[in-house]
Structures are given as structure tokens and as C-alpha cells.
Chains A and B, each alone.
Chain A
Amino acid sequence: MSENEATPVGKVAPEDRRIGVYICHCGGNISDYVDVEAVREALADEPGVVVSTTELFACSDGTQHDMIDAIKEKQLDGLVVASCSPKLHQVTFRNVAARAGMNPYTYSQVNVREQGSWAHQHDKAGATEKVIGLVRSSVAKTRLSDALEPLRFDTVPRALVVGAGIAGLRAAIGLAEIGLEAVVVEKAPEVGGWVGRHGETFPSNAAGRDQIASLNEQIKQRRDITVYTNAELTGKSGTFGNYSAEITLHRDGGDKTLTVDVGSIIVATGFDSYAPDDGEFGYGIEGVVTLPQFKELVDASEAGKLIYNGRPVRSVGYVYCVGSRQEAGGNEYCSKFCCTAAIHASVLVNKLDPSVRQFHLYRDVRAYGRNELLYNETRDAGSVFLKFADDAPPTVAKLPSGGLGLTITDLLTDSREVTIPVDLVVLVTGMVPRQNKSLVDLLKLPLGTDGFFNEIHPKLRPVETVVDGVMIAGCCQSPRTAGESVAAGLAAVAQSAALLKKGYAELEPLVARIDPEKCTGSGDCLTACPYDSITSIEWDGRQIASVDPATCKGCGGCIPVCGADAIDLLGYTDAQMRAAIEEMFEASVPVKEPVA
């Protein structure tokens, strides 16, 4: 699977390497506190250094071009840029190297800004001395650098979708449409999740059930989508691009397991609706229902008749933010969908029976975007909105006259405390993370403090997790609307395609490598690896350790435990690190112009 043989650059002796050293001013960020000229001079005569120069902005387009020209012209085989943090520009200069036809892994970045100029602003001489040491050390490491090639391995053109709600089903179709097979695993006996239980939903007014039915219809017509209901993901091995998933089917005759190879996994397991505590806003009293219960009631009603427990409902009171935006320690987030969901339900009620009076007790109405129009619609139809302060929530109680009373201080009526008699109280319940410990453990899914799954970056990598090839989509990640869940599902499809459509994947070659000659087969390293990347294999008639480069993260955890010094980390070999450290200990360098 790998072509990852390190080729020492033409077996050139370290002192004969042709290294270019670029020292960046960073527009003054560095040069104001470090004598960059002194650094350049100190490096110019170092063995193996062919180019030593300073630049105002090394990362600027023009300088990049000059570097490429210099690399080609001077036939450089090593590059050191002394500038900012590698987090910022490692990729930039690796690409410069690659564009110039130089092996990008012979490039080293020295962080002389954060570690030099910024750290020692009041000691220019000291800073300069330190920077010279750092750059020389990096040059020493570069002299011993090898040309490395990225790891490349084949991928399986198939993705696993966990959860057959609207996001999961739509993602499965998206996968199939883009040319990847989809396998869908659903715990429940039926697909569709929450949306599949609903009648009319916002914003299109199409029934949730119909939307799910139409997705299901498309899925049935495709051979490249397989859906397992009453099924769970119970095992996973391998690495991204080549996962092997164990699926347990709960069948009448007992459980059955099957294994499928998949390249990526899309987790779309959805949410649970907040379950109010007994007595929370009157929960438990007859006539106090949650939003999903109310929606079911509305969906089941015929025109002109909103009936609860056999009695017609003449008035409804909604209490917003139940289970959301709680105090520290509770659910502090906003569930985002529920304002609009409640407003939409009230619009439906108004269509069923315009004479029903509706009172909305809210903290802030967050009917964002076009949902604002629904908010206007329900207000124009007579819904009254009453805001309550965070520290003065309304209370719900039975009235002596029968029915329910919602008591609230109405800020807009001179803060009058009023009791509104209503037939039904709807607690506008939010979303809570679904409890799914076995899946979390199995996939090593990262949880946020709120209990929802975490993405790598909320803006730039919104559906990827820190586990390569495992993506999240929909309400398992955070509360949102169905439309937003589907969009996330399709984003996960696009990410899967990016990983799997080429048919192969590339990984950084900076992984551990075991020298079979030196390895004594003690097995000490096997338990040291946090990624289970090291296995014991037979080689030349004896047991030795072997690293799977596809799963090795290059953390280096195995190296110190090897008593035989048989493990090396490519790009950071023992020899390189030793040379770098030794260079650091060299006698200090004279500095020309100490600054007061």
C-alpha cells in the first residue's frame, strides 16, 4: 500500500548540501527587535548554505517567485525560512519548494517571530543571538533531511450513514448521486426520524411525512443505497478510506451481524426533545403539553376542531425557551428552531380555527431570516406576544374556575401582572443531545460541553470531526432546522466525495518507521502507541514490530520506549534532532551592533 521509502537526497554529504536560508523582516515585526542582517551574515558561511538573504515579507507573492527562481537557478536541495509560526506558513513554503521542483519535506520553518522578536523586545542583542542559534540549528537539521513522498493508499467508494432522519436519508441520496454507494443504518424500525412524524412543517408547508416518503421512494429506486432499519453500528476498525464497519441487525430470530467496508462515516443521529421536569411550568397538570405533543395534536385535527381530551380548545398559551437558554450548568444554548416551530404551529391553529385565541410568552423571538414572515403572519392573525424577563418567568397553574392560568408580568402594559386563562399550555421545548454512549465510544466522537458532537471548525470545517473520515451532520451536532440539517448532510456528502472520489488518499509521510534489522521484537512499542498502529509481524524468520503508516499520526510516542533505538520518525529522525540540538549548544555568536 505504500511507496513511502525515504530516499536520502542523492546521498550527498551533509556539508555539500545546497541550502537556501531566508530571514524575514515580517515588515518590522522581526527586524525591529532582531538584527536580521547579523543573522544573515552569521548563516552565510555555514557549511551547506548556498543562499543567505533577508526579505521584507517572505510570504509575499514576489518573494515566493524569487525563491522559486533561486531554488531552480542555484539547484538548492534544502530550504529554511526564518519567519513566523509554521502554523501560518509551513504549507506556503512547502508549496514554494514543490513548485520549484524541490522535495517539500526538505523545507524547515523557524519561528523567529513568536520565539525571537516578540519574546525579547527589550533585548535586541539577546534576541539576535537566540535567532542565530535557532536558524543554525534548523540548518543542521536540514542538512540531514531526506526527500519524502506522501503516503498513498486506495479508498473504498462507499459511505456509511448512521441515522435515517431527513439529514441521513438526503445524504444517502446525495452520496449515490455523486457516485458513492451508501449504506444507511437506522436504530428505529422506521426511517424518517422526527420529521417523518410531522404534518405540515415550515417553511414550505409540505408535510414532514410526505417529504420523508418522497426521499424513501427515491431510495427504493436506487440499487446503490442500502437501508438497514432496526440496526446499529456496533464495531469499527481500519482507517479513513478503508473502514470496516460491523452492523448488528436486531431481527425477530435474534441479532445478526454483517460487515461492510466503507470509506467514510456520516453520523446523523439527530436529537432528543427536551423532557420538562415534573412541575416545570406546570408540566404534569392536565392541559400542559410539550411542543411535539402539541404538533401531533394539531396535525391530527380537522378543520374547525382543535380538540384536546374531548374538549374544544378555545385558547392556547405558549411558553417559549423551555429547556433552552437555561442558567449555567443547564442547557445554555438556544435551540434555534423552536421559536419558529411554535409560531408555525400557531399559524396552523389559526387556519384550523381562526377564533382560537393564542398568547405567546417569550424571552426573545428568534424567528430569523424568512421565518420573520411567519411571525408577522401569526401576529396579524391575532396572536399576542408577551415578553418575560429572564429572571421573571411566567407561572402555570390551574384556575379555581377550571382551565389553566398563565401568569406573567407584561412589560408593555406598565408591567402589569396578568393571568391569562387558557385551555391549553404549550411548553415550547428545545432540543437536547441524544444519549448515544456506545456510538460515541466506538467512533471516538468528540463531545462539546453541551453534549452535542463537535466539528473541527465551526466555519471552515463544519462537518468534519477530528477523527479522519468521520463526519457529523444535523441535530446531533447542534440544534437547527430540518433545512439546515439537510444542508449539513450534503456538506458531509461533499467531504466524503473529496476523500473518496479520487480512489486513493494521500497522507503526510511524517510517520514512524522501524528498522527491521535493529528491532529485537520486544514488543514494548506496541502498547505505547495511542492509535494502535503498531503490530507484530514475522520478518526474516523472527517477530518484529511494524507500523501501519496509514494510521500512524507521527506523534513519536513509540520512539523513546524502544530499547534498541530501532524506531525513527521520518522528517524528524534521531540524527536530525541530535544535530539540531548540538548546533544550539555551539559557542555563542558575536553580535556586531549591540543596541542599548
Chain B
Amino acid sequence: MATLVNPNLITDLQKFGAADVNACFSCGNCTAICPLADNDATFPRRFIRLAQVGLTDDLVTSKELWTCYQCGMCTSRCPQEADPAEFMATARRYAIAKLDRTGIARAMYTSPVAAAVISLVGLVIFGGFFASVKATAEERLVFGVPYEWIHLVGLVVMILVVLIAVFNLAMMARATAKRDEVSAKSLFGSRKAWGNTLRAVWYSVGVESLGQKRYREDCEDDDPKEPLYRRRWLIHFLTVWGFLALFAATLIHYGSDIIGLQGAAVGVVALVARVVGTIGGIAMMYGVTWFMINRKQKVSAAAQHSAPSDWLFLWMLWITGLTGFIIEVSLYLPQDHPQPWAYVLFLVHVAIAMELVLFLPFTKFAHVMYRPVALFFYALAKQRSAELQSV
């Protein structure tokens, strides 16, 4: 059956970047040079073609988009100067926007004004939420709005956003599974299937998402190769682990609060949380700061084109980290109680952190959920072709 295509796909996609991609004439040099393209994931040429021809679903739900780490080898070899690496980045932005049915991601990507307004609204809601949590009876009005309301709105927004994220991810996973002929049976139908599935999970989450193996290897090809202290994979690695450490510190802190830890244990747990958080914060700040410098200086292919959403994401991480540190320092200041300014700062900190996490499906942060899933399918496909070859 012929697929009815969307003739306007590429013009729509170009609202997200990739200004030069029309020049592509499908020669395939980019695929030949791409260190990550192989039999199970041929790109970027084929994906440019999908965009040109208008096969929207194939493009936005593909696993290949997320396999690419934007080393830029393809762009440097393209005889047409079509900038395929930038296309891959744009296609990822487009996929995030397209997989999100609410239109929030699209608005944030395509309009800086909308991005600013939406982030501010989010900030106000989350800030209000946290303000209301700790509010005393006398302070139960924020800008004249009763705190119960704010609390409720905050909760509803959080739940909605989580649902949206789960839904988007499920859509992408389902489409990929269908195209790659992956089913519940092929995943869990036998002991062997279970084994393969677990191995694929380990590859995608362990080796790649936490270990960043291919990213590290991929960067060997960067030209110019940045010095190690600011190399893409390293600062990304530090950012990821720093973020995870901060997340863990937060969980430990609140977790002990929730289970009502008492006595000496409180002090120990608090110390652990603080040490983990501090190290994580330093790592993340280091990584994010270099990311921003790299983008500003356009040091590599990956840093050539920066969309407003890229900056927004980095700034939010950076502000979260910075405010966190200031708050931490303020705790050691010679006062018994935190100052009011520290309280406001704390509100900003938690609001942005919350927004960062909860806006995940609408921003560049979405790669955190799509990439592991894509890599999971990629690992499955690899296993399958290895099996076919050994037969």
C-alpha cells in the first residue's frame, strides 16, 4: 500500500532549523562517513529523504534520530553543503515537537516569545506551589490567590505533564516497535527473549545512557578535537552524573523527611545528601558552563547552530545549579534562620528545577526519555542482525 505523504513536511521541519538541507541530493556520502551508521541504522541520508518526501511518522518515531551524537563528520563531507548534522539535530527537535500533541513543545521551539512566556508561567505555577506548601496560615494568599488553589493547580499540572510524557514516549515506542517488528512475544516470549531484552536494556541504560560509551568514542572523530577538559562527551558525562547526583541528594533529603527519620540518623543522612549534592552540583555546573562557552564560541559542529530552546535548557540548568549553591552557602552564614532573600532564592531554585524536570517532554530535555528507548530498539535490531548473520 502506498503511503500518503505530507508534502509540507520539510517546510514545516525547517521552522526548527536545517536551512540548507534542500541542497541534499541523496548521494549518501554522509552515511558512508558516519561512524554510527551501520546496517541497523542507516542515516542521515535516508532521514533527509524521509523529510523531503514527506514521511512524517517514519521520521519522527525513528530510533536512528537518537543514535546520532552530532559529531558533524557528515556535514564536513557533504558535497552539497546541506549540513546533514544540523538536519539530524533539527529532526530531533521536530520529533520532540511532533510527538508532543499539546503543541507546547512546538510553541517553545518555534517562537522565542512563546518559550519565554510558557517558562515564566511554569515558573509562577511551580513557585506558587512550593510557596504554598510552606506557607503559614497568615501567608495563605499569594498575589491574592488562595493557597489551596495554587496547590491544586500545581498538582494537576504536574500530573498532566507526567501523563503527557508517558503518552508521548509510549507513542514513539509503539511506532518503533511496529516498524522493527518488536512485540511482547519477541521481548518476553522465551528465556532467550528475556535474556536479549535485558541485555538491550543494559546496553541502552547502562552502557550508553549512564556510561556514554559511543558518545565518548564518537568524539574521537571530532574535528577540531577539543581539549579533554571541555570535550563534548566529558562535559555531557559530568552534566548527566551531576544532575543525577543532585536528583539523588534531593530524594535522600526528602525521603528521610517523608519516612520521618529521627535522631542521629538525620544528621548522617543530611551529611550524605549534602556531600553527594555538592559534588554533583560542581560536576553539573562545570559541564553546563562549558556547554555554554562551547556554544557561544561555536567550537564544534554540534555547537554551530543554537536554537532558543538550547539556550533555555542550559540556562535553566545553570540557574538551578547556581541558586542551589548560594542556598547551600547561606545555610552556613552566621544566622539561625535563613534570610528572607534566601527563601525567595530557594523558591526560584525549586521552581526552576521542577520546571526543568516537568517540562521534559517539551524541551531539549526530552532526549533523556527518547534516547534510551531508541537505543533499546537499536540494541534489539543489532542482536537480530547478528543472529541472522550467524545462521
| Residues in A lying within 8 Å of B, measured CB to CB | 315, 355, 357, 359, 376, 379-382, 384-386, 399, 405, 407, 410, 412-414, 416-422
Contact of B7 among A359, A399, A414 (CB under 8 A): A359
CB pair A419–B49 under 8 Å, yes or no, is no
**Once the chains are docked, how many angstroms separate the CA of A421 from the CA of B1?**
15
Contact of A357 among B4, B11, B25 (CB under 8 A): B11
Q: Is B151 an interface residue (CB 8 A)?
A: no
Contact of B50 among A385, A413, A420 (CB under 8 A): A413
CB pair A419–B2 under 8 Å, yes or no, is yes
Q: Is B46 an interface residue (CB 8 A)?
A: yes
Q: Which chain B residues numbered 3 to 32 have a C-beta less than 8 Å away from chain A?
A: 3-5, 7-8, 10-11, 22-23, 25-26
**Once the chains are docked, how many angstroms separate the CA of A416 from the CA of B50?**
10
How distant is B152 from chain A, measured CB to nearest CB, in Å?
44
| Besides the known contacts A379-B25, A405-B4, A416-B53, 13 further A-B residue pairs in the complex with CB atoms under 8 A apart | A315-B7, A357-B8, A357-B11, A380-B22, A380-B23, A382-B10, A384-B53, A416-B3, A417-B1, A417-B3, A418-B3, A418-B4, A418-B54
Q: Is B61 an interface residue (CB 8 A)?
A: no
CB pair A420–B22 under 8 Å, yes or no, is no
Chain B 22-49 against A: per-residue CB contact (8 Å), 1 yes, 0 no?
1101100000000000000000001001
Residues of A within 8 A of B52 (CB): 384
Contact of A421 among B7, B11, B25, B53 (CB under 8 A): B7
CB pair B3–A381 under 8 Å, yes or no, is no
**Number of residue pairs across A and B with beta carbons under 8 Å?**
60
Q: Is B141 an interface residue (CB 8 A)?
A: no
Q: Do A414 and B23 form a contact, CB below 8 Å, given A405-B4, A419-B4, A422-B7? A: no
CB pair B7–A420 under 8 Å, yes or no, is yes
CB pair A382–B11 under 8 Å, yes or no, is yes
How distant is A411 from chain B, measured CB to nearest CB, in Å?
9
How distant is B21 from chain A, measured CB to nearest CB, in Å?
10
Q: Is B55 an interface residue (CB 8 A)?
A: yes
CB pair B55–A418 under 8 Å, yes or no, is yes
- How many chain B residues touch the partner (CB < 8 A)? 20
CB pair B11–A419 under 8 Å, yes or no, is no
Residues of A within 8 A of B23 (CB): 376, 379-380
Can you list 22 A-B pairs with a CB-CB distance of less than 8 A? Answer: A355-B11, A357-B7, A379-B23, A379-B25, A384-B10, A385-B25, A386-B53, A399-B4, A407-B2, A410-B49, A412-B49, A413-B46, A413-B50, A416-B55, A417-B1, A418-B2, A418-B54, A419-B2, A419-B4, A420-B53, A421-B4, A422-B7
**Once the chains are docked, how many angstroms separate the CA of A414 from the CA of B3?**
13
Residues of A within 8 A of B53 (CB): 384, 386, 410, 413, 416, 418, 420
How distant is A399 from chain B, measured CB to nearest CB, in Å?
8
**Once the chains are docked, how many angstroms separate the CA of A405 from the CA of B46?**
23
Residues of B within 8 A of A382 (CB): 10-11, 22
Residues of B within 8 A of A418 (CB): 2-5, 53-55
**Once the chains are docked, how many angstroms separate the CA of A355 from the CA of B12?**
11
**Once the chains are docked, how many angstroms separate the CA of A413 from the CA of B45?**
9
**Once the chains are docked, how many angstroms separate the CA of A376 from the CA of B4?**
27
Residues of A within 8 A of B3 (CB): 416-419
How distant is B381 from chain A, measured CB to nearest CB, in Å?
15
Q: Is the interface of A mostly helix, strand, loop or mixed?
A: strand
Contact of B5 among A376, A380, A381, A419 (CB under 8 A): A419
Q: Do A414 and B46 form a contact, CB below 8 Å, given A315-B7, A382-B10? A: yes
Residues of B within 8 A of A357 (CB): 7-8, 11
Residues of A within 8 A of B55 (CB): 413, 416, 418
Q: Of residues A379, A380, A412, which shows the largest number of chain B Cβ atoms within 10 Å of its Cβ?
A: A412
CB pair B26–A412 under 8 Å, yes or no, is yes
How distant is A99 from chain B, measured CB to nearest CB, in Å?
58
Q: Is the interface of B mostly helix, strand, loop or mixed?
A: mixed
Residues of A within 8 A of B11 (CB): 355, 357, 382
**Once the chains are docked, how many angstroms separate the CA of A382 from the CA of B46?**
17
Q: Of residues B2, B10, B23, which shows the largest number of chain A Cβ atoms within 10 Å of its Cβ?
A: B2
Closest residue of A by beta carbon distance from B26: A412
Residues of A within 8 A of B4 (CB): 399, 405, 418-419, 421
Residues of A within 8 A of B46 (CB): 412-414
Residues of A within 8 A of B50 (CB): 413
**Once the chains are docked, how many angstroms separate the CA of A413 from the CA of B55?**
9
How distant is A318 from chain B, measured CB to nearest CB, in Å?
13
**Once the chains are docked, how many angstroms separate the CA of A570 from the CA of B52?**
74
Chain B 379-391 against A: per-residue CB contact (8 Å), 1 yes, 0 no?
0000000000000
**Once the chains are docked, how many angstroms separate the CA of A417 from the CA of B11?**
22
**Once the chains are docked, how many angstroms separate the CA of A424 from the CA of B2?**
19
Closest residue of A by beta carbon distance from B25: A379
How distant is B296 from chain A, measured CB to nearest CB, in Å?
30
How distant is A514 from chain B, measured CB to nearest CB, in Å?
72
How distant is B38 from chain A, measured CB to nearest CB, in Å?
16
Contact of A420 among B26, B49, B54 (CB under 8 A): B54
Residues of A within 8 A of B2 (CB): 407, 417-419
**Once the chains are docked, how many angstroms separate the CA of A357 from the CA of B6?**
10
**Once the chains are docked, how many angstroms separate the CA of A407 from the CA of B53?**
12
Closest residue of A by beta carbon distance from B14: A382
Residues of A within 8 A of B26 (CB): 412
**Once the chains are docked, how many angstroms separate the CA of A355 from the CA of B54?**
15
**Once the chains are docked, how many angstroms separate the CA of A407 from the CA of B1?**
10
**Once the chains are docked, how many angstroms separate the CA of A379 from the CA of B48?**
13
Closest residue of B by beta carbon distance from A359: B7
Which 4 interchain pairs have the tightest Cβ spacing?
A417-B2, A419-B2, A357-B7, A384-B52
Q: Which chain B residues numbered 47 to 103 have a C-beta less than 8 Å away from chain A?
A: 49-50, 52-55
Q: Of residues A380, A385, A413, A416, which shows the largest number of chain B Cβ atoms within 10 Å of its Cβ?
A: A413
Closest residue of A by beta carbon distance from B24: A379
**Once the chains are docked, how many angstroms separate the CA of A379 from the CA of B5?**
19
Residues of B within 8 A of A384 (CB): 10, 52-53
Residues of A within 8 A of B1 (CB): 417
**Once the chains are docked, how many angstroms separate the CA of A382 from the CA of B14?**
11
How distant is A17 from chain B, measured CB to nearest CB, in Å?
74
How distant is B368 from chain A, measured CB to nearest CB, in Å?
30
Closest residue of B by beta carbon distance from A357: B7
Closest residue of B by beta carbon distance from A422: B7
How distant is B4 from chain A, measured CB to nearest CB, in Å?
5
CB pair B49–A413 under 8 Å, yes or no, is yes
How distant is A592 from chain B, measured CB to nearest CB, in Å?
71
CB pair A420–B25 under 8 Å, yes or no, is no
Closest residue of B by beta carbon distance from A375: B25
How distant is B86 from chain A, measured CB to nearest CB, in Å?
16
Closest residue of B by beta carbon distance from A316: B7
**Once the chains are docked, how many angstroms separate the CA of A399 from the CA of B4?**
10
Closest residue of A by beta carbon distance from B21: A382
CB pair A420–B5 under 8 Å, yes or no, is yes
CB pair A379–B22 under 8 Å, yes or no, is yes
How distant is B67 from chain A, measured CB to nearest CB, in Å?
17
How distant is A425 from chain B, measured CB to nearest CB, in Å?
13
How distant is B325 from chain A, measured CB to nearest CB, in Å?
48
Residues of B within 8 A of A399 (CB): 4
How distant is B61 from chain A, measured CB to nearest CB, in Å?
15
Q: Of residues B5, B8, B11, B55, which shows the largest number of chain A Cβ atoms within 10 Å of its Cβ?
A: B5
Residues of A within 8 A of B10 (CB): 382, 384
Residues of B within 8 A of A422 (CB): 7
**Once the chains are docked, how many angstroms separate the CA of A315 from the CA of B8?**
9
**Once the chains are docked, how many angstroms separate the CA of A421 from the CA of B4?**
7
How distant is A381 from chain B, measured CB to nearest CB, in Å?
7
Residues of B within 8 A of A421 (CB): 4-5, 7
Residues of B within 8 A of A381 (CB): 22
**Once the chains are docked, how many angstroms separate the CA of A405 from the CA of B6?**
12
**Once the chains are docked, how many angstroms separate the CA of A422 from the CA of B7?**
8
How distant is B14 from chain A, measured CB to nearest CB, in Å?
9
**Once the chains are docked, how many angstroms separate the CA of A412 from the CA of B11?**
19
How distant is B1 from chain A, measured CB to nearest CB, in Å?
7
**Once the chains are docked, how many angstroms separate the CA of A379 from the CA of B23?**
6
Residues of A within 8 A of B54 (CB): 418, 420
Residues of A within 8 A of B5 (CB): 418-421
Residues of B within 8 A of A412 (CB): 26, 46, 49
